[in-house]
Amino acid sequence: MVTAIVTILMFLVMISLHEFGHFITAKLMNFKILEYSIGFGPAIWRSKKSEIQYSLRCIPFGGYCKFEGEDEKSEDPRAFSNRPCWQRIIVVAAGGISNVILGFVLFIFIVAATSPVSTNVVDQIVPNSYIEQEGIRPGDKIVEINGKHVSFYSDIALYTQSFKADEECEIAVKRDGQKLHFKFKPTENTAEYKYTDEGIEVTSAVNGAESDTVLYPYSDKNPKDESLIGTTETETRYIIGFVPRQKDINFFNVWGESWNETKFVVKLVYNSLWQMITGKVGMDQMSGPVGVVSEVHNAVSSGSYSWLYVLNLTALLTINLGVFNLLPIPALDGGRLFFMLIELVTRRKIPPEKEGIVHAIGFLLLIGLIIFISYHDIVKLIAK
């Protein structure tokens, strides 16, 4: 029940804010708005003020802001199709931008609650790591990895995901105002997890040399799973080999750190899409509504820190929604923006009925994609 309530609230907040972005910009620029609706299906509440009908509908996973002349011709000068192209671009883009802004606001609370945060400055070199012999020192600020710019710690976490054994990598650091370049091999970091009655015993090894063993007692944040007791898991990843310097969060730097986290999620969305296009990530690894509900359940079941996990999941989802919605895909806001940009360049308006056909086809394809992804989400849940 808690999972269902939290899921509905999350979607209502994200969708209502998205549609409010369209609504408020259109209202400020004097568009003729017919209806502002949260949800789809039959209306459970309606109220008409001035010329606008406000509706709350029974299916909470959607919504819309309906304009006069949006998909048809209209003689009204305030109709959507009769407004200047630059104004229509602002109104259509405002929905996705509102979602990104919501993510930024949520990250302000998340970053403040998780202080201190890691930075891209080296605090310690991990013993037995390859960079120990390359001359990288504590205090060096990492600014590039394999030619990709690094502005905060999350960039490092993203770029090191693709590290492989024995490959030659390049890192650039800032030291005393100078930019220095180093070549190195990624360090093999192995973690063995033993599930005992007392807690999870984690043994770490760096390039084959055992470093330490730590017992993590079970708690609200680390709940006990009886089915895992007596089992062992091993995880291997390839890292640079350093401990990042920590930074305390205060009123003055929380804004910049929150914006960094927002930019990182945007970058992550594009990176995931590129991996999908290039075949590095399969379509079956994407998550749809079923997968989202499963993640919400995990978040609300995480004990005393559940509120923080829910906020973080909401921030990730709303930014994903905003960015994905602005991609040039028919039926999405980005598809509409694409037609408007063509109009802006060619100075010729595309007939609304022809554009409507393209969006209708795109909508059917999106529904098919959602069904496909939901099927794989269900299969993954059954297999657990």
Instruction: Calculate the alpha carbon distances from 366 to 61, 63, 200, 266 in Å.
Output: 15, 16, 43, 21
Contacts within 8 Å (CB) and 24+ apart, 19-22 = 19/63, 19/64, 19/65, 19/95, 20/98, 21/94, 21/95, 21/96, 21/97, 21/98, 21/99, 22/65, 22/91, 22/92, 22/94, 22/95
Helix (H) or strand (E) holding 168: none
User: Rounded to 5 degrees, what angle do the CA atoms 363, 368, 374 make?
Assistant: 125
Q: At what angle do helices 306-325 and 2-28 cross, to 10 degrees?
A: 40
What is the rounded radius of gyration, in angstroms, for the C-alpha atoms of the chain? 25
Q: How deeply is 201 buried, as exposed, middle or buried, from its count of CB atoms within 10 A (0-12, 13-18, 19+)?
A: middle
Catalytic residue among 19, 70, 257, 355: 19
Structure tokens at 347: 């100075």
Task: For residue 42, count other CB atoms closer than 10 A to its CB.
Answer: 9
The three-class DSSP label of residue 67 is: strand
Residue 78 per-residue DSSP state: T
Residue 351 per-residue DSSP state: P
Q: How deeply is 283 buried, as exposed, middle or buried, from its count of CB atoms within 10 A (0-12, 13-18, 19+)?
A: exposed
Is-catalytic flag, 167? no
264: amino acid identity, one letter = F
| Strand segments (E) across the chain | 33-49, 52-67, 117-125, 141-145, 148-149, 169-175, 178-184, 187-195, 199-206, 209-217, 232-239, 242-247
262: amino acid identity, one letter = T
**Residues designated as active site:** 19
